[in-house]
């Protein structure tokens, strides 16, 4: 039977039948078995290497964990705490400043400040813009805030505005919920009760500038934004500042403050309280005694060198500097023609005028060039032999015949022209240098300036010229190159009153230790005694100075005649511009511009037998010393010795001065006492 195969199947079968047959080989089986064993051995090796590597790494990990957990446990605990705990600086309370009687001169008053903690604020610029709706913010406030923000940690609050009014505080508190990271903080702000009266003396504090940061130890100013800028605040910054403390806070990993850690941290140490030698009542009386005049007054205790009063008028209000004075206000102070920022007591250099005459008398008596009993004739002018130029006396008709006592009492210029020539510039320089002229006194406030004590060497060094005899003549009345500062003049008179002894002027009388509460008095620093001048010489000069205030012919007798104490003094008038030989005085002071009027000077000490106070007064552009400066000194001495002011200056017209002049038509010969001899002068060097 024939079975028919379908075409499709037949085709498949055919293909199978046609496929070639591969012959079986035993070697192929062995090769296959061989590969399997090799792979197993390779895998085993790899597992062992990996296992050893894992064990090694595990051993290293265990060793490292052991080192961290056991060996370095304390170190990493500390690091962990540092990540979690932050130190927030706590500023110290600045020390107070008192006068010698306990009156406050610088204090700390409660104040409110608007502060921002940058890390808590979302959108700082937007927050600053919105705060302008609540209170007034100037561009200076914002610029100052950003500058401070860049100098502190972001988790510390940075002041934006200080000295907020109660209205501003209330306005902010109502909307406080709108300002995350912004708060009003109660703090202490520096305040000066006597304001401009003690501005040049106490100085002020202000914001810490980049220049300040370059010269300070930042660790001592953690949390502080102000530093002493002038006066006592600056010179005693290290004492007044105190030592910052800190408190601990707990923060998260991002540094955001979580809460305070109570009982942790260190307490700040308050600054030391300073007790100055200043008498606040005396300071106030001196300032008020000037009236509308500008000038300076310095009062010293000659037995200790303590500064009893230091006045520079006009003063300035220190409060704007504490708050951060704006540029326009500061420029206005700088451009003020009366220069309120200028400390005249320490920086003002003036011709001494006739206040130098007692020191020339000391030199003349010491070196034997003055016979105190021998009178000199004053015709109203002085001439050097063979020279036509006339050096005028303050009294145009002359004083006639005068010996030393009356020459001092009446302030005879001609007598002291001749005394200066006889003494010579070398001896003048020697004597005046002994009393401290031409040198800073070293008083304990910054930026003191020295006057000029000219000499042959000084003239050669500064002007590259020889010293001329005409310049020595000018020295006889305190004109020419010679200048003094008020404090320098006060120290010299104090040394005269103490017969050559004396102490360095200083302002800090005592200091209170904030830790112990003990008050430590400052020991006066004795100055080297003036060399070789005899007691009889001092007695004779002081006799003449006593006649200035106590004798009927004395230039200051009208001011001191009814004083219940004996004083010794000397008037002075320092010319600002030159006089011509035949100029005469005009009947009214207002015929001359203020800036051309003479300076008025007066020095005094009292009581004569037991000096307790020395006063030096300079009244700028005020005329004669007896009329303008002596009344200021009298009121100061009254206040200090008596506790009240007895003297009241007469309410009279302003006095006539040597600058109330009308030009002469006939003679143009220059007789300017303030001007030194010109280069090429026909007067030969002496």
Give residue 99's pLDDT: 95
Q: What is residue 291's three-state secondary structure?
A: coil
Q: How confident is the model at residue 208 (pLDDT cuts 50, 70, 90)?
A: confident
Q: How confident is the model at residue 450 (pLDDT cuts 50, 70, 90)?
A: very high
First-to-last CA distance in the chain?
171
Q: What is residue 392's three-state secondary structure?
A: strand
Which one, of 137, 313, 281, lies nearest residue 636 by Cα? 281
pTM given for the model = 0.79
352 is annotated as an active-site residue: no
Q: Does the pLDDT value for residue 308 go beyond 70?
A: yes
Give residue 185's pLDDT: 86
CA dist., res. 451 & res. 454, Å (int): 10
More confident residue, 417 or 57: 417
Which one, of 271, 323, 274, lies nearest residue 92 by Cα? 271
DSSP 251: E
Q: Does the pLDDT value for residue 670 go beyond 60?
A: no
312-368 pLDDT per residue, tens = 999 999 999 988 888 888 899 999 999 999 999 999 999 999 999 999 999 999 999
- Domains in the chain: ranges and CATH: 87-276 (3.90.1310.10), 285-317+343-509+523-662 (3.40.710.10)
Q: What is residue 662's three-state secondary structure?
A: strand
Report for 33-37, 565-569, 580-584, 618-622: range of highest mean pLDDT: 565-569
Give residue 508's pLDDT: 96
Please give the average per-residue pLDDT across 491-517, as a whole number: 94
Per-residue buried b or exposed e for 54-90, using 16+ beta carbons within 10 Å of the residue's own CB:
eeeeeeeeeeeeeeeeeeeeeeeeeeeeeeeebbbbe
Give residue 357's pLDDT: 97
Q: What percent of the chain stands above pLDDT 70?
A: 83
Phi, psi of 648, deg, nearest 5:
-125, 120
76-91 pLDDT per residue, tens = 665 555 566 667 788 8
CA dist., res. 461 & res. 464, Å (int): 6
Please give the average per-residue pLDDT across 32-40, as a whole number: 71
Q: Specify whether the CB–CB gap between 543 and 404 falls below 8 A.
A: no
Which one, of 418, 467, 454, lies nearest residue 681 by Cα? 467
Q: Does the pLDDT value for residue 684 go beyond 60?
A: no
281-307 pLDDT per residue, tens = 999 999 999 999 999 999 999 999 999
531-560 pLDDT per residue, tens = 889 999 999 999 999 999 999 999 999 999
Please give the average per-residue pLDDT across 627-646, as a whole number: 95
- Which of 235, 312, 354, 567 is catalytic? The answer is 354
Q: Does the pLDDT value for residue 98 go beyond 60?
A: yes
* DSSP secondary structure string for all residues of 139-190: HHHHHHHHHHHTTS-TTS-EEEE-S--HHHHHHHHHTGGG-TTEEEEEEEEE
């Amino acid at each position: 039977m024939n079975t028919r195969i379908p075409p499709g199947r037949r085709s498949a079968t055919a293909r199978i039948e046609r496929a070639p047959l591969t012959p079986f080989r035993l070697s192929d089986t062995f090769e296959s078995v061989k590969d399997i064993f090799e792979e197993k051995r390779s895998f085993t090796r790899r597992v062992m290497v990996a296992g050893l590597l894992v064990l090694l790494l595990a051993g290293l990990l265990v060793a490292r964990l052991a080192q961290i957990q056991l060996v370095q446990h304390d170190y990493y605990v500390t690091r962990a705490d540092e990540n979690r705990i932050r130190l927030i600086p706590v500023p110290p309370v600045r020390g107070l400043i008192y006068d010698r009687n306990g009156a406050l001169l610088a204090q700390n008053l409660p104040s409110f400040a608007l502060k921002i903690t940058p890390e808590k604020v979302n959108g700082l610029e937007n927050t600053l813009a919105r705060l302008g709706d609540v209170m007034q913010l100037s561009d200076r406030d914002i610029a100052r805030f950003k500058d401070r923000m860049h100098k502190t940690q972001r988790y510390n609050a940075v002041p934006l505005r200080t000295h907020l009014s109660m209205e501003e505080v209330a306005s902010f508190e109502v909307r406080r919920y709108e300002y995350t990271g912004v708060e009003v903080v109660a703090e202490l702000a520096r305040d000066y009760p006597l304001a401009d009266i003690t501005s040049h003396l106490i100085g002020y504090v202000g914001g810490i500038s980049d220049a300040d940061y370059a010269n300070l130890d930042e660790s001592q100013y953690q949390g502080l934004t102000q530093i002493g800028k002038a006066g006592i605040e600056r010179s005693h910054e290290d004492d007044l500042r105190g030592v910052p403390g800190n408190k601990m806070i707990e923060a998260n990993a991002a540094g955001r403050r979580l809460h305070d850690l109570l009982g942790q941290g260190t307490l700040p140490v308050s600054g030391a309280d300073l007790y100055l030698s200043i008498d606040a009542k005396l300071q106030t009386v001196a300032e008020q005694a000037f009236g509308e005049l500008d000038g300076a007054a310095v009062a010293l205790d000659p037995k200790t060198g303590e500064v009893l009063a230091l006045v520079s008028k006009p003063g300035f209000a220190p409060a704007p500097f504490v708050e951060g004075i704006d540029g326009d206000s500061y420029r206005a102070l700088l451009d003020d023609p009366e220069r309120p920022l200028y400390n005249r007591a320490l920086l003002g250099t003036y011709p001494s005028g006739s206040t130098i005459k007692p020191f020339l008398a000391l030199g003349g008596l010491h070196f034997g060039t003055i016979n105190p009993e021998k009178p000199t004739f004053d015709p109203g002018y002085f001439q050097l032999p063979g020279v036509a130029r006339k050096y005028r006396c303050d009294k145009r008709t002359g004083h006639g015949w005068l010996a030393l006592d009356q020459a001092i009492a009446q302030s005879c210029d001609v007598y002291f022209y001749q005394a200066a020539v006889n003494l010579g510039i070398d001896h003048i320089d020697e004597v005046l240098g002994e009393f401290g002229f031409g040198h800073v006194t070293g008083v304990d406030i910054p930026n003191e300036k020295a006057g000029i004590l000219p000499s042959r060497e000084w003239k050669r060094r500064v002007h590259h010229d020889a010293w001329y005899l005409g310049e020595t003549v000018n020295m006889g009345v305190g004109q020419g190159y010679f200048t003094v500062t008020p404090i320098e003049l006060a120290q010299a008179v104090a040394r005269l009153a103490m017969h050559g002894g004396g102490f360095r002027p200083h302002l800090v009388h005592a200091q209170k230790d904030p830790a112990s509460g003990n008050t430590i008095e400052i020991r006066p620093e004795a100055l080297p005694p003036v060399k070789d001048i005899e007691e009889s010489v001092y007695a004779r000069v002081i006799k003449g100075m006593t006649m200035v205030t106590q004798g009927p012919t004395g230039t200051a007798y009208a001011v001191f005649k009814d004083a219940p104490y004996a004083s010794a003094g000397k008037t002075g008038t320092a010319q600002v511009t030159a006089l011509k030989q035949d100029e005469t005085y005009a009947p009214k002071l207002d015929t001359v511009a203020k800036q051309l009027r003479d300076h008025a000077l007066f020095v005094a000490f009292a009581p004569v037998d037991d000096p307790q106070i020395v006063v030096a007064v300079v009244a700028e552009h005020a005329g004669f010393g007896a009329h303008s400066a002596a009344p200021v000194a009298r009121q100061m001495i009254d206040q200090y010795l008596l506790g009240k002011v007895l003297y009241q200056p007469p309410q009279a017209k302003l006095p006539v001065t040597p600058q109330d002049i009308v030009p002469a038509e006939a003679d143009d010969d220059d007789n300017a006492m303030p001007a030194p001899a010109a280069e090429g002068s026909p007067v030969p060097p002496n």
